[in-house]
Amino acid sequence: MNQIAYRAPWIIAYQNGTHTLLKNGCVVVEGDTITHVGHGVPEDVDDVVETNSVISPGLISTHAHINESPVDKTIVEDANKRQFWNTSLIEILPIRGAAMTDSHRESCTNLSLAEHLRTGTTTVMHMGAPQDYLLEAIDRSGIRAYTTGSFRSGRWLTNDGKQVSYEWADDEGFSGLQRALDEVETIRSMKHPRIRPWLNPSQVDTCSENLLREAKKAADDSDVPITIHAAQSFTEFNEMTRRYGRTPIEWLADIGFLDERVMIGHGIFLGGTPAVNFHGDDLGLLADSGASVSYNAWTFARGGQNMFTYRKYLEAGVRVCLGTDSATQSMIESLRWTAVLGKVAEQRADGANSDEVFNSATVDAANYLGREDLGRIAPGAKADLLFFRTDSATMAPTRDPVKSIVYYAQPEDLTDVMVDGNFAVENGTVRGIDVARAAAEVQAAGEHIWESWPQGDWGGRTIDEHIPVSYPAFKESGS
């Protein structure tokens, strides 16, 4: 197998348990693996590629909904959500979800995979409606992924725009779990180098205690990681305290769900933090259990919400990983918003720093997965590499490549993305996906969803009545 050396002015290389800044260095890739990192080029390489890049480890998104997120765009921002404490979950996303067809989800999947790759994600952890199409799309895109279909015992809705209601179908939760376990076996039997399973009981307030106990046991028996939405909205927090007299995190701890194989998305509304007026020590419970949190800063910030605070979670000993959740699905944006909002929340310029957020998006997520071969550039690690140009208006000058990526990089600066030793993005082009076609299909999906809005809304409103656009429509003069 050929050994190819990539020389670069900057390499974010991993050494002695930390990322380091290697100036004028070289990464050697053989097949799917990094075999050498250092200043000099080994004599026995077959080829040397000169680049003008920062070579970074690929980013790991620990929370994504690739078969639906693109159609969140323009329906969740700037809307009045007072009755549901600023979340889109109750009154907006169920309407969007009900209007979507499998074909819409396929189009969204293609566009999402392209967006992830184009913005630095080399490993995406997906949750969403079960769909056979996903595995084919992930394979074709070249990305690395964790996936299986989500399942739950019920769903929330509102019938009047005032209250949250729940509809229960516990049998569907258990059949969904069985389908997901079948998918675990399917994925394992594929022996695909880039696709692995995990489990996703959807949300803490839509899963019965029995379903969560079974799902956690099944995850342990199958040796797969497991994720659940919890502490993701004030409405959910209130429902759990009303239902059980416990915070969502306390209840998960009570039923034996929390341990180091669990990823909590999003873990914002915690007892004992300013996000809720409810005392407790959910941060301590998370830290003691070893469970991780997936923080998706942009999704919450656009709802006027923030983590209190990123730094305090780290100081409490909670592993915080990053994701993208909704639109935008850019891990560059996730890095940036986590750093900036962390500073704002702490009211300090060093309230969240580039090394911390970069760790969250790389080695911390890899360590959650038990994957010492991901999230780092070191001999023996998988060749998941990002090539950011250094000579662009946004990147130059480069003194500290991690700060440059966190605070300044744009998707256009990310010219090439290697996953598992192959280029999934080359000169800015996603090789495995027809982006123009996917974008046109997602536009059509959006048009369908927007027109269907009155059928899904409790009050029969049009989408423009429910979620106004930013300015009135242009009128032809004289009309």
Query: 325, 356, 416, 420: which one contacts Zn ion (CB under 5 A)?
Result: 325
Of the pair 128, 401, the CB lying nearest Zn ion is at: 128
Strand-by-strand arrangement of the 262-266 sheet:
226-230, 262-266, 292-295, 319-322
Of the pair 48, 301, the CB lying nearest Zn ion is at: 301
Nearest distance, CB of residue 373 and Zn ion, angstroms: 26
Of the pair 126, 311, the CB lying nearest Zn ion is at: 126
The tokens for 344 are: 């704002």
Judged by CB under 5 A, the stretch of 76-84, 159-167, 317-325, 386-394 that binds Zn ion is: 317-325
Of the pair 183, 325, the CB lying nearest Zn ion is at: 325
230-289 positions binding Zn ion, by CB under 5 A: none
Judged by CB under 5 A, the stretch of 26-34, 278-286, 322-330, 442-450 that binds Zn ion is: 322-330
Nearest to 382 by CA among 415, 419, 410: 419
Nearest distance, CB of residue 115 and Zn ion, angstroms: 16
Nearest distance, CB of residue 176 and Zn ion, angstroms: 16
Q: Give the chain's end-to-end CA distance (angstroms, integer).
A: 70
Half-sphere exposure of 193 (CA within 13 A, CB side): 15
Of the pair 299, 398, the CB lying nearest Zn ion is at: 299
Please list the residues that pair with 126 across neighbouring strands. 64
**Are residues 36 and 43 in contact, defined by beta-carbon separation less than 8 angstroms?**
no
Of the pair 273, 329, the CB lying nearest Zn ion is at: 329
Nearest distance, CB of residue 212 and Zn ion, angstroms: 17
Q: How far apart are CA 379 and CA 28, in angstroms?
A: 9
Determine the residue with CB nearest Zn ion: 325
Cα-flanking dihedrals φ and ψ of residue 30, to 5°? -130, 115
**Strand 414-419 vs strand 385-389: parallel, antiparallel, or unpaired?**
antiparallel
Judged by CB under 5 A, the stretch of 68-76, 174-182, 318-326, 467-475 that binds Zn ion is: 318-326
Judged by CB under 5 A, the stretch of 93-101, 300-308, 321-329, 412-420 that binds Zn ion is: 321-329
Judged by CB under 5 A, the stretch of 98-106, 146-154, 191-199, 323-331 that binds Zn ion is: 323-331
Of the pair 35, 150, the CB lying nearest Zn ion is at: 150
174-203 positions binding Zn ion, by CB under 5 A: none
Nearest distance, CB of residue 179 and Zn ion, angstroms: 19
**Which residues in 277-301 are b (16+ Cβ under 10 Å) and which e?**
eeebbbbbbbbebebbbbbbbbbbb
Instruction: Tell me how crowded residue 372 is: count the other CB atoms within 10 A of its CB.
Output: 14
**Are residues 119 and 330 in contact, defined by beta-carbon separation less than 8 angstroms?**
yes
How many residues at the interface with Zn ion, by CB under 5 A? 1
Judged by CB under 5 A, the stretch of 81-89, 160-168, 278-286, 319-327 that binds Zn ion is: 319-327
**Are residues 50 and 41 in contact, defined by beta-carbon separation less than 8 angstroms?**
no
Cα separation values, 410 from 118, 119, 330, 400, 405, Å: 10, 8, 10, 16, 8
Nearest distance, CB of residue 266 and Zn ion, angstroms: 7
**Are residues 3 and 29 in contact, defined by beta-carbon separation less than 8 angstroms?**
yes
Of the pair 119, 326, the CB lying nearest Zn ion is at: 326
Instruction: Tell me how crowded residue 335 is: count the other CB atoms within 10 A of its CB.
Output: 25
Nearest distance, CB of residue 153 and Zn ion, angstroms: 18
Nearest distance, CB of residue 232 and Zn ion, angstroms: 7
Identity (one letter) of the amino acid at 216? Answer: K
Nearest distance, CB of residue 324 and Zn ion, angstroms: 9
Of the pair 35, 148, the CB lying nearest Zn ion is at: 148
**Strand 47-50 vs strand 3-15: parallel, antiparallel, or unpaired?**
parallel
385 CA to centre of own chain: 18
Nearest distance, CB of residue 272 and Zn ion, angstroms: 23
Of the pair 146, 387, the CB lying nearest Zn ion is at: 146
- Residues making contact with Zn ion (CB under 5 A): 325
